[in-house]
Amino acid sequence: MNELNLEPNEFKYIYRIFSQDYFEASLVNKELTLVAPSLWEDPYENVFFKYFDSHQRRENETGRWHGENLFGQCWSSLEESDAMWRIYSQDLKGVKVKIDRTMLRPIFYNHFDIYLMRDCFIGKVKYLTEQEILEVIKSDNFQNSNSMNDTGHTRAFGLLFKRNEFSHEKEIRIICDVQEPIHATKKNILNIAIEPNSLFSEIVLDPRLPIEQFELKKEIYQKLGFMGSIKKSNLYNFSI
């Protein structure tokens, strides 16, 4: 798995707060689900492809011109964040999953052949102003980088920019540029087979969750087969 915008040994673990339903489905189905960036809410997602689509698209270009066949999933380098719990666990049912990012390579290697592995990436998002994003788009380096052909590296790189207003997320993205449609289970979705007990280092539940509900959820996840550490976040514990 290729790395983008990452320094060697910059961090070992990444984190994501899943909905309760999604997490339970991952345990049962043993899948990690990547989705098309077009499903992400921020209108500035896919901004590079949207720009080229409106300014430079040629009639004979395929859908790959504007980012089709790209799939991603958003994680964070932040281990703990009040803002992230409040955004992604508004009903107190969020499940924060911790994974060792070095464990991703064998998972994607098993899903794709060695050639297609070159089009799987993990990258750190850079946060810029709107003007700075536009300057990157118009730069000679980007314009001449074959970003809109079948070269996955730059197409993935184009998904690693967000506006400064989202910088609190410290976002890390898993991105796949799928060459063969057969790898996508259905439109806009790419499911990757996983072994949850090998990939998920631990899970942490919402710090605001009453202890009785935490114990109930812990029992449910253990019955669903999860054998790793299950904790309640101590973010709101008073220990002075």
pLDDT in tens, 105-135: 888 888 776 555 568 899 999 999 999 988 8
Residue 58 has pLDDT above 50, yes or no: no
Mean pLDDT of the chain: 85
Which carries the bigger pLDDT value, residue 9 or residue 185? 9
Interacting residues of 161 by C-beta distance below 8 A, sequence separation 6+: 47, 48, 125, 126, 127, 128, 133, 136
The whole-number pLDDT of residue 59 equals 43
The whole-number pLDDT of residue 170 equals 96
Instruction: Return the H-helix or E-strand segment holding 208.
Output: none
The whole-number pLDDT of residue 48 equals 74
User: Contact, 133 vs 44, CB < 8 A?
Assistant: yes
Rounded to whole angstroms, what are the CA distances from 50 to 124, 136, 137, 148?
21, 14, 11, 11
The whole-number pLDDT of residue 157 equals 84
**Using 50, 70 and 90 to split pLDDT, how confident is the model at 140?**
low
pLDDT in tens, 24-42: 999 999 999 999 888 888 8
Length of the chain: 240
Q: Which residues are bridge partners to 97 per DSSP?
A: 16, 203
Residue 147 has pLDDT above 80, yes or no: no
pLDDT in tens, 191-230: 999 999 999 999 999 999 999 999 999 999 999 999 999 9
Question: What is the mean predicted confidence (pLDDT) over 51-76?
Answer: 67
**Using 50, 70 and 90 to split pLDDT, how confident is the model at 152?**
low
- Supply angle C-alpha 79, 44, 76, rounded to 5: 10
Interacting residues of 144 by C-beta distance below 8 A, sequence separation 6+: none
Q: Is 67 left (phi over 0), alpha (psi -120 to 50) or beta?
A: left
Residue 71 has pLDDT above 50, yes or no: yes
- Name the token pair of 15: 């984190």
Q: Is the dihedral of CA 192, 196, 198, 200 positive or negative?
A: positive
What pTM, to 2 d.p., does this model score?
A: 0.87
The whole-number pLDDT of residue 112 equals 74
